[in-house]
Amino acid sequence: RTEFGPVSYNERGKFWEVFGYDDVLELASDYETFSSDGSPFAEYPEEMTKGQSVLTTDPPRHRQLRSLVSQAFTPRAIASMAPRIAEITNDLLDQVTRQGKMDVIADFSYPLPVIVIAEMLGVPSEDRARFKHWSDQMVVSEYEDLSRDNVEEYNKRVRTIMRQTLDELYDYFRQVLAERRLRPQHDLVSALLAAQIEGESLFEQGILAFCSLLLVAGNITTTNLIGNALLCFDEHPEVMEQLHARPELIPQAIEEVLRYRPPALLVGRYATRPVEIHGCKISTGESIIGWLASANFDPAQFPDPQRFDIGRAPNRHLGFGHGIHFCLGAPLARLETKIALSILLERFEHIRRERLQPIETIRSVFIMGPRHLPV
Ligand code: HEM
């Protein structure tokens, strides 16, 4: 922040970037000036970035969509999932207990949210290898082999991969929708089909876009929150000890992980009118990225920001964003992570990261987390 100033222009990506807490908050809050209906990243197919799901619409459409999907995503519905989440957690840990070691990501934090979302949506959790493949494709984390030297060429390649991924994903969910129309079940897809607001129900494309969003927005992020939490605790053994002794502190420790190692790094918007931020003139239509990860380290908001401190109060981190697009899945992510960490710490007194290899992280501009975490 000090090196680049509070606002900078990214020549290569052709977008503005803001870093400070207040600026990121403003970007996320003022939806009239900063629209979500379009992506700052040129490589994405327009279908993914404009007017399809809650994430990529502005009011009034956003309000309608959000009320529709919230009907199927109520706090009560989420809370009622706790026993099942605990059961899945214990099953996953049973499978690794005898080996005495595991990769937290592959064996635990990846399958847990995928199974939960698959069960919520009412699709077979055996399909999770396909879910993983689609999720990976969508966050552009697996494209290290593609050269970025030629931006045009890179964008074209990514667009092709995305297109293919969306086609596969939509075909898959189209079948699920067709089955649920004939035989509704007690699941999210049936609830989405039934949800109505002002006499309007979600059109098929809207449900497909939302299901894909859940798969992508809800899985890798939660996997990373659990992985990032264990990394933080491993770096701070005194915190690990404290949480073993007082598991009731786990929820506030999770909030500090969301600040210190946020799984989602940024939010993207574009300007609907000319606007000036710290003397920088941004024109209508230009894109702006707000770095959540940087705002979370703004010393004006978080004293001694480099310190991992589970006692921070208040802790108004931006890990789940802010404003009308505040993460719809936050209660679910918090619940899953709390249950996962509580059971893990309860069952294993000593959890040590294998130090033979350096931590390899996911390479993506959107998300942050370890690719593997052997313990
Ligand atoms: C929105 C982060 C888990 C569903 C967001 C946003 C962030 C975020 C930063 C705001 C995007 C913006 O303003 O442009 C996270 C993190 C998670 C997580 C860090 C886990 C630790 C989940 C889960 C679900 C979910 C589990 C669903 C099952 C959504 C949806 C939106 C959203 C639907 C769009 C809301 C709207 O635009 O109104 N998330 N998320 N997220 N998230 Fe999450």
**Which tokens is 189 given?**
């897809």
* Ligand 1 centroid to residue 321 C-alpha, Å: 8
- Average pLDDT taken over every residue of the chain: 88
Ligand 1: centre distance to CA 352 (Å): 30
The region of weakest confidence among 66-75, 226-235, 339-348 is: 66-75
pLDDT (0 to 100) of residue 1: 38
Distance CA 156, CA 65 (A): 31
CA 34 to each of CA 14, 64, 217, 272: distance values in angstroms, whole numbers, following the listed order = 16, 19, 21, 6
**Whether the CB of 222 sits within 6 Å of ligand 1:** yes
CA distance 16 to 8: 6
Question: What pLDDT was estimated at residue 133?
Answer: 81
Which has the higher per-residue pLDDT, 152 or 307?
A: 307
Determine which residue's CA is closest to atom 14 belonging to ligand 1.
267
Please give the single-letter amino acid code of residue 211: C
DSSP category for residue 360: P
pLDDT of residue 48: 64
- Grouping H, G, I as helix, E, B as strand and the rest as coil, residue 350 is coil
Which protein residue has the closest C-alpha to ligand 1 atom 40? 327
Residue 21 reports pLDDT greater than 90: yes
pLDDT at 98: 78
Q: What is the mean predicted confidence (pLDDT) over 309-331?
A: 97
Say what the pLDDT of residue 4 is: 61
Domains of the chain (ranges; CATH) run 7-347 (1.10.630.10)
Residue 267 predicted with pLDDT over 50: yes
Indicate the range of 30-34, 63-67, 91-95, 309-313 predicted with least confidence. Answer: 63-67
CB atoms within 10 A of CB 129: 9
Ligand 1 centroid, distance to 16 Cα (angstroms): 22
Of 328, 66, 53, 69, which Cα lies nearest the Cα of 206?
Answer: 53
Ligand 1 pocket, mutate which of 327, 336, 338, 362 (most atoms under 8 A from CB): 327
Ligand 1: distance of its center to the CA of 101 in Å? 31
What pLDDT sits at residue 77? 84
Tokens describing residue 33: 């000036």
CA distance 343 to 159: 41
Ligand 1 touching residue 322 (CB < 6 A): no
pLDDT average, residue stretch 313-317: 97
**Is 50 exceeded by the pLDDT of residue 157?**
yes
Q: 156 or 353, which is more confident?
A: 353
Return the top range by mean pLDDT from 39-43, 186-190, 364-368: 186-190
- pLDDT of 275 > 70? The answer is yes
263 in contact with ligand 1, CB cutoff 6 A: yes
Q: Which residue has the higher pLDDT, 44 or 83?
A: 83
Q: What is the mean pLDDT of residues 310-319?
A: 97
d(CA 147, CA 343): 42
333 lines ligand 1 (CB under 6 A): yes
Determine if ligand 1 sits within 6 Å of the CB of residue 329: yes
Say if ligand 1 is within 6 A of residue 259 CB: no
Whether 194 shows a pLDDT value over 90: the answer reads: no
What per-residue confidence (pLDDT) applies to 2? 42
How far away, in angstroms, is 236 Cα from ligand 1 center? 27
Give me the residue label for tokens 């900078």.
8
